Structures are given as C-alpha cells and as structure tokens.
Amino acid sequence: MSSRSYYLAPLDTRPALKRAKVANYMVQNSYNVDTRDYRDHTFSGIMFDIHCKDDLPMEYIEIREIWVRGNLGPMTVWTTPNTFQNKRQSRREWKLVHNKRHCPSMQKLKSLKIEPPIRMRNGESLGMYVHSGLNDDMGIVYNNRRGNVTFEDPHMTILPGYAHISNDPFSAFGYWGGGSWRANREFVGRVTYGVKWMLWNPCKKVHHKFPEGFKQMILTLLMCHRRKESPLKKLPHVVLYYIFNMLPWDWAGEVDVKKKIKKIEENKHVSCREESVAYRRSQYVPYEVPYEMRFGYMDDDDDDDDDDDDDDEESDDEDYEPEEDED
C-alpha cells in the first residue's frame, strides 16, 4: 500500500483583514421611551433636549417616531443641533422633520413619524420641538418639571424644557397676549429609536469604548495566543481579530454594565410623590400674590405659570402649511 503525503495550503487570511467598523444591521426591536404622564397641562407645544449617552459602544441611535397625545391637529416636529437654549424664537436654526395634520387622540399616544430619521452619535445632543397649530389650549399634553431629568435609559437622556402657549410656531406672543413660553415643563409621550452598535477593532479610540470585561477578555485571549502550547497559537492573529470583531459588546457578560442598567430601570419607578416633593423643596420660593389677583382678575390659560424669561428674543417666523394625515 503506497503512502500518500498531504499538503495543507496556507490559510488565506485576506478576508479577515477586511473587518467591519459598525454592525451591518439596526436593532430591529426598537426601543420605546415612555415618559411619565401626570396630565398636568395641555397647550400648543413643548421644547426640550435629548442627549445620546457615551457609556456603551454605540455608533449612533436613530430616532424614528415621536408619540404624543392631545387634540393634535396640524402637527410639526422640529430639531436643532446641540440644544434648544437661546433658539426658542429663531426658526432658521431649526429643521422641520414632521408636518402633517392628525386626528384628536386625547387618551392614546399618536405616532409622529420622523422623516428622515434623526441620527445622534455617541455623546451628541439635540433640541426637539413638538408643536400643534390648533387655535385652542388643548393641542398636546405635557407635565410640570419634577426633577433634573425627565427620562433616562442606557442609551439616552430626555431633559426638561419649555412649554409654548401659541399656535404659531416659535412665536413670542402668547395665546392671550404677553409671553408665550413657560419654563420647567416636561415632555409627555414616547420616543421610538433604534441603535447601531460599534464593532471591536484593534485601535485605541475604538477599544477604550468597550466595557472593562470585554477588554479583559481580549487581553486574555491575546496572551493565550502568544503561548506555544495554546491551541489559539495555530490561528493567525488577523483571524483572531476577525473573531473579536464579530462579537457583540456584551459577549463577556458585562456584570458591572448590567448592574448599572438595572439601577437605571429601578430609578424609573421612584414614586411620583417622592420626586415631586424633592423637586418642590429644591425650588421653594416665598409665595407672593400674583399681580393679576391684586386687580381682581386672573390669566385663565390652562398653563397658568407665566414664567417667560425670553420675550425679548428676536422672532424669526415663516409661513408653513401642514400636510393632511392619511389616517
């Protein structure tokens, strides 16, 4: 019987050199952010900031829908980079991302689709303005501010902002005249978004964004790869990098990160009373009889706290026509 010799061809590692930088998919199970709903006020609009966290290796989050409730009508949604601060009456600094007429929906949240979806990279912030053009005080529902944060999850933070009591977007003049902005208000509704995750690559600016457990796993396997008796020694290092590149960020368990996420989830269930009392104590000022009461009449708007402090901002209004909602 003749003996045969076998030849193992060199392993082609060229495909492993072409590592992806981000996942080639968007998380299909979209995250839904549901803020607290105490039904404090209704009026024309709410302006607030959203911050994308940088604790996890996200390439970006993609906001697809904003959900609100109220009598709605001609609804518009606007965004601006970084923050809404000092931009409340400057329409030229905002981008219109939704413009349709919607049927009343006072009890159930109504979806306002963002077109195109808004992308926020790791650590970025943006200002959001949701407005109803109805000529009354029942456009959308919003809350009094009850803390420094309206909502927080592992990916984003929604902050308090200002309510708007004018059916004209960005107008400085209120429904009954006078100022149109009310400070210390919170968005009520839902934000639907997806996440595009970053993939590991052997460069410092990417590696340091991954959790500590993941980084320790990489280091341990690379040390094993250098030992002659290790089975990993048979793999070219580029192949090992390719395997690391395909692992999700939480492959190593990430106990510390999951504990942090659990703590955030638990903080959502703080009772309304505890939050409200803590905030009111921190904001306490001696009561003074309102100017209107001294003369026997009161401002009868639904949002009765006239705390406008930016009436002198320059208004930059333009005409707009809402599209009809297909529903």
Mean pLDDT, residues 53-62 taken together: 90
Q: Chain-wide mean pLDDT for the chain?
A: 78
268: Cα separation from own chain's centroid: 16
The strand pairing partners of 191, in sequence order, are 33, 66
In DSSP notation, 234-246 reads GS-HHHHHHHHHH
**Tens digits of residue pLDDT in 216-258:** 999 999 999 989 899 888 888 888 998 999 898 888 876 666 6
**Model's pTM, two decimal places?**
0.74
Of the two residues 58 and 310, the one the predictor is more confident about is 58
Distance of alpha carbon 216 from alpha carbon 154, whole angstroms: 22
pLDDT, position 205: 87
Identify the CA nearest to 118 among candidates 100, 95, 102.
95
pLDDT, position 181: 95
Distance of alpha carbon 304 from alpha carbon 175, whole angstroms: 12
Token pair 């392993």 is found at: 11
Distance of alpha carbon 106 from alpha carbon 34, whole angstroms: 16
3-state secondary structure of 76: strand
Question: How far, in Å, are 128, 164, 210 from residue 98 at the CA level?
Answer: 12, 18, 35
Question: How far, in Å, are 11, 160, 179, 180, 184 from residue 308 at the CA level?
Answer: 70, 15, 6, 7, 10
Share of the chain above pLDDT 90, in %: 44
248: left (phi over 0), alpha (psi -120 to 50) or beta: beta
**Tens digits of residue pLDDT in 276-298:** 444 444 443 343 434 333 333 33
Judge contact between 70 and 189, C-beta under 8 A.
no
Length reported for the chain: 327
Judge contact between 312 and 173, C-beta under 8 A.
no
> Cis peptide before 290, with omega less than 30 degrees from 0?
no
Distance of alpha carbon 180 from alpha carbon 164, whole angstroms: 6
Distance of alpha carbon 149 from alpha carbon 186, whole angstroms: 9
H or E segment and range at residue 164 = strand 161-164
H or E segment and range at residue 192 = strand 190-197
**Tens digits of residue pLDDT in 148-179:** 999 988 899 999 999 999 999 999 998 887 88
- Flag whether pLDDT at 52 surpasses 70: yes
